[in-house]
Amino acid sequence: MLRIGRKAILITFTLSMLLLVFIVTPASALYVSATQETHSQELNITDENKGYVYSNYPPFGTRDITWLDINQDVGLNVYRYHSSGWSDSADLVNGPAVTEYSFASYHSYIPGWLADTSFIPIFTEFVNTTNDDLEIAVDQKRVVFPLGLGQQSSVILEPYLYHSGTLTLSTEEFIHVTIDCRTDSVSMNVIVYDHEGSSLGSLFLNGGDVKILPFRPSGPGTYAIRLYPMAADEGLLVAEILPVAVAPQTIQYGEVVDDVLSGSEFIMDSGSGSIVITEKAPTARTYKFSSNSTHAGRIGYSINYPEFLLPVHIPYEPELKVTSDAFVGSSAVMRYQTQLWGDIGQHYYQSFQGESYYLTVIGMDEAIYSIYNEEIGASQLPLNEAFYLENNHLNTHTVAYQLSLDEDSIVKVNSTENVGDYGWVLFSVFDDMMYRVLGVIDGSSFHNAPNYYLPAGEYVVLG
């Protein structure tokens, strides 16, 4: 007897004689026409028969792949700046040819926890290696195709080329995008960009996966669902994409939600009695929660899912993804999003700027889950005085505090630990809707503990 969630299924066959059939449900999607766009920029060649490129982030103002179109052998001298000074490298590109070339191998630095990543530009020198006139162009290619909300679309792909599905949205609060890569030997990166170029979510598909990418739109405009397929063999590559609008279910303080992630790739064929394993999309549900601007909340969850169904079939392990109206700044501006791991856990949050938070639960195989939203009543940290914290638990224990600053301040932490360690994290959302996180390192005394600058405002401190 195999237990699946709360349901038990009686199996009356012997595994050694089990007939397994793997099928893929025939596609009913509409094939859409894709258009390849190419932008070419010729480089100015100096009297010394040299060309120069100054490349900032992103290269040539686009995230598309670039190709060099050269009429002969070309020498390359690349100059980069990093923390310890300049470095240079030399290379040779054989021509005539059109060859893929990246202008994006940047060095970067982060001035502080309140700043975004800064990229240091690259200078590339193209050197003529013959006496003939040098001709160089930089080409950018992409494939563009239309998508409709609520319409399942199929598109034929070219490997190692970016494909942008354009999707027009208006006032939709939340979107689920189901993506089927349709082929076992194909892997695929998927990223959603809004009309400002900010990333809203991403996922990776492999081995014929069918996955769901949830994201919070940024308002009316045209969005790009970008696919980058990778294939070891030549042949027909097809992806199916279905974007749908969903209405998140609000979870109030003190409310518990219990539900089941229905469906399974493991089914019994009614005609033959064989066990059939299908490639199918998981179930996804999105929940909405928020707090007031001065008090933290906490989402707790637990999941019970089957560890195995058959020796040849691993069940879909549930995923939990949290996103919000806020953004984070790293290599680029992107929507705040974090993944929760494990079959039990918690996530602290606070609606500092009135923003909402969203939890999407994804899975199948009759996995049972519970979600609880609570206001935790965190204590205020004292200002300009010491306080005492002791962990008497045998494992890691997290305590949340409120920190309200009327003026810009400095925070520093010392500890007397001799066994184990303390981890301190502060986070907030600022007026520009940027979600910032600061990890604080403690010292053995206040004198040698690092100083951390905090602007006036509200913070949640986890210690």
pLDDT, residue 239, reads 94
CATH 2.130.10 is the classification of domain 46-134: no
| Cα gap 405→297, rounded to integer Å | 19
Provide, rounded to the nearest whole percent, the portion of the chain with pLDDT above 90.
Answer: 52
Lowest-pLDDT choice from 42-46, 258-262, 304-308: 304-308
pLDDT, residue 265, reads 72
pLDDT, residue 142, reads 87
Helix (H) or strand (E) holding 27: none
pLDDT, residue 82, reads 77
The CATH number of 29-38+142-235, from 2.40.340.10, 3.40.190.10, 2.60.120.380, 2.60.40.10, is: 2.60.120.380
Mean pLDDT, rounded, for 257-272: 81
| Cα gap 377→457, rounded to integer Å | 18
Is pLDDT at 30 greater than 50 in this prediction?
Answer: yes
Is pLDDT at 393 greater than 70 in this prediction?
Answer: no
CA-wise closest residue to 354 among 405, 293, 414? 293
Give the range with max mean pLDDT: 111-115, 135-139, 371-375, 409-413: 371-375
pTM of the model: 0.86
User: Which has more pLDDT, 105 or 230?
Assistant: 230
User: Which has more pLDDT, 181 or 352?
Assistant: 352
In one-letter notation, the amino acid at residue 273 is G
Over residues 355-368, the pLDDT tens digits come to 999 999 999 988 99
CATH 1.10.287.990 is the classification of domain 248-377: no
Is pLDDT at 175 greater than 70 in this prediction?
Answer: yes
pLDDT interval class at 310 (50, 70, 90):
low
Please name the residues in contact with 156: beta carbons below 8 A apart, sequence gap of 6 or more.
31, 34, 236, 237, 238
C-alpha to C-alpha distances, 20 to 122, 276, 326, nearest whole angstrom: 55, 6, 47
